[in-house]
Structure 1
C-alpha cells in the first residue's frame, strides 16, 4: 500500500467545514490537477467555474435542496460539460463542426472528461489535507444555475464540488462487494450470485447505519435504492440537454 492508494481508499464525503477559505495557490493547484486528467482525443470538453460570492453560493445551496455546505465551505467548484469553445474552433478553422458537436458521442465525451477532471481535483484536494463533497443537487434547476453562472450555449453545469478544511470526520461508508462490481472476461449474469451478494451487503449497510445513528436507522441498501428510484427525478433533463445543443444525433 502506498500513500496515493491509501488516500483513495480512505475517501469520504465531508459536509461540514471550518470557516477558512482556500488560498489562490490551493485553488490553482486543484484546477491544474483537474486539467492533468485524461481527456478523450485531447478535446478537453469541460470547464470549471469557481464560486466565491456568498450570495451566489446561497442561491446555489437553495437550488441544491438547502444543503448548507454548498454555502459554507472553503471553495465551490462547478464542473461543466463544455463544447462552446469548440464552436470557436469551427469559426477559427472555417469548418462546419455542428453535426459532431450535436452528437450523443460528443455529449458523452464532455460528461466523461468533466468527471475525470473532477476526480483528479478531489484527490488533489484530499492530498492537501482538505475534504470534499460532490453536489449533484445543482441539477434540480439547471436553468437557474445557468442564469446565475452566465454560461453560454453548449455549456451544461453537471455538478458542484465543495472543498474546505474538514470540521468533522465521517465514517467510511462500505461499498458494494468487489465481486459484485468487477467481472473478468465477460459480464457475470448469475442472478442467484448477485442476490446473495446483495443480501450480504444489505446486512453490512444496515449495521453501518445502526452504529452511525445509535439505532435510529437500520435500512438496507436495496431498500434505500428502491425508495430513491421509485419516484423519477429531474425528468426535464432530456429536453434541457437538447436545448443546450447536445445529444441531437
Structure 2
C-alpha cells in the first residue's frame, strides 16, 4: 500500500488541536492541493476564505457551537462561487449569463467543485501530519456567516475545515460495508443489503461502547432516523435563492 492510500484510509476527524498555527508554506501547500482538484469545464467554481481574525473566529464558533472552530491551527471556509465568472462579463453578458448561473445544474457544479477542492485540501493536510475536521454546522445560521464574511451575490458558504496539529488520536469510526455503497450496473437493494446493514449497526454499537470518549449505545440506522425525521437548517433553501442560485 502506498503512502497516499495510507493517508486516505487512516482518516479520522480531529476535534482537539494544539495551539500551534500553520506556517505560510503549509497554507500555500494545502490551498495549492485544493486547486489541483478536478473541476467541471475548468470552472473552478469555489473560493476559500482563511479565517485569521480571532474575533471573527469567535463569532463563527458561536454559529457552529463547536469549540474547534475557534481553537485550531487554521480555519478555512469553503464557498461555492459563481460570482467570479459573472463579474467577467459586461452588463449585457451578465444578463445572458443569469439563466445559466441561476440554474440547478450550475448550483450542482459549484457545490461539487467546492467539495472536490476541500477533500484535496483535507488529504494534503493529513499528508503533512495535520488533523482536519469538516464543519457543516456553519450553516446553523448561514445568513449570519454570509454577512460576517461579506459574501457577494452568487457566493454561498458551504462548510468550514478546521486544520491543525492533533491534540488527540481518536479511534477510527467504521464505514458502511463496500457492498452496501457499491452497486454494479443497477441499484441493488435486497435482503442481503438489509442483513449487511444490520451487521454494520452491530459493529457501530460496539465501536461506540468501546471508544475512549463519548461512549453511548447507538446504531447507524437510529442516527439516520433521528436526523431525517427532525428537519434542520430549513432556512438554507430560501437563503440560496436569495443569493440568486438554484432558482431555475
Interval containing the TM-score (normalised by the shorter chain): over 0.9
How far apart are the structure 2 equivalents of 1:75 and 1:171?
A: 23
- Name the residue aligned to 1:98: 98
Count of equivalent residues: 247
Q: Cα deviation per residue 1:102-158 (whole Å; 9 max; x = unaligned)?
A: 110000000000000000000000000000000000001111001111111110000
How far apart are the structure 1 equivalents of 2:213 and 2:21?
A: 33
Unmatched 5+ residue regions in structure 2?
none
- Name the residue aligned to 2:216: 217
1:63 aligns with 2:73: no
How far apart are the structure 2 equivalents of 1:35 and 1:110?
A: 14
How far apart are the structure 2 equivalents of 1:245 and 1:219?
A: 40
The two structures have a TM-score, normalised by structure 2, of 0.96
How far apart are the structure 2 equivalents of 1:224 and 1:188?
A: 22
- Alignment partner of 2:79: what SS? strand
- Alignment partner of 1:7: what SS? helix
Measured after TM superposition, the shift of residue 245 of structure 1 is 0.6
- Name the residue aligned to 2:245: 246
How far apart are the structure 2 equivalents of 1:166 and 1:205?
A: 24
How far apart are the structure 2 equivalents of 1:48 and 1:123?
A: 16
- Name the residue aligned to 2:232: 233
In structure 2, relative to structure 1, the CA distance for the partners of 1:184 and 1:15 (3 Å cut) is same
Please give the residue correspondences for 1:19-30 in structure 2 after superposition, counting only pairs within 5 Å.
19-30=19-30
1:202 aligns with 2:208: no
- Name the residue aligned to 1:109: 109
In structure 2, relative to structure 1, the CA distance for the partners of 1:242 and 1:92 (3 Å cut) is closer
How far apart are the structure 2 equivalents of 1:215 and 1:136?
A: 20
Measured after TM superposition, the shift of residue 189 of structure 1 is 2.4
1:36 aligns with 2:33: no
Measured after TM superposition, the shift of residue 248 of structure 1 is 1.0
How far apart are the structure 2 equivalents of 1:239 and 1:81?
A: 16
How far apart are the structure 1 equivalents of 2:246 and 2:50?
A: 26
Unmatched 5+ residue regions in structure 1?
none
Kept in 1: contact 2:171–2:212 (CA 8 A): no
- Name the residue aligned to 2:163: 163
Measured after TM superposition, the shift of residue 203 of structure 1 is 0.5
Deviates more, 1:211-220 or 1:55-64: 211-220
How far apart are the structure 1 equivalents of 2:92 and 2:36?
A: 26
Measured after TM superposition, the shift of residue 225 of structure 1 is 1.4
How far apart are the structure 1 equivalents of 2:81 and 2:136?
A: 17
- Name the residue aligned to 2:180: 180
- Name the residue aligned to 2:49: 49
RMSD of aligned Cα (Å): 1.4
How far apart are the structure 2 equivalents of 1:51 and 1:165?
A: 17
Deviates more, 1:201-210 or 1:94-103: 94-103
Q: Cα deviation per residue 1:39-66 (whole Å; 9 max; x = unaligned)?
A: 000011100000011111111011012x
How far apart are the structure 2 equivalents of 1:85 and 1:132?
A: 28
In structure 2, relative to structure 1, the CA distance for the partners of 1:93 and 1:188 (3 Å cut) is same
- Alignment partner of 2:89: what SS? helix
Measured after TM superposition, the shift of residue 194 of structure 1 is 2.0
Please give the residue correspondences for 1:72-91 in structure 2 after superposition, counting only pairs within 5 Å.
72-91=71-90
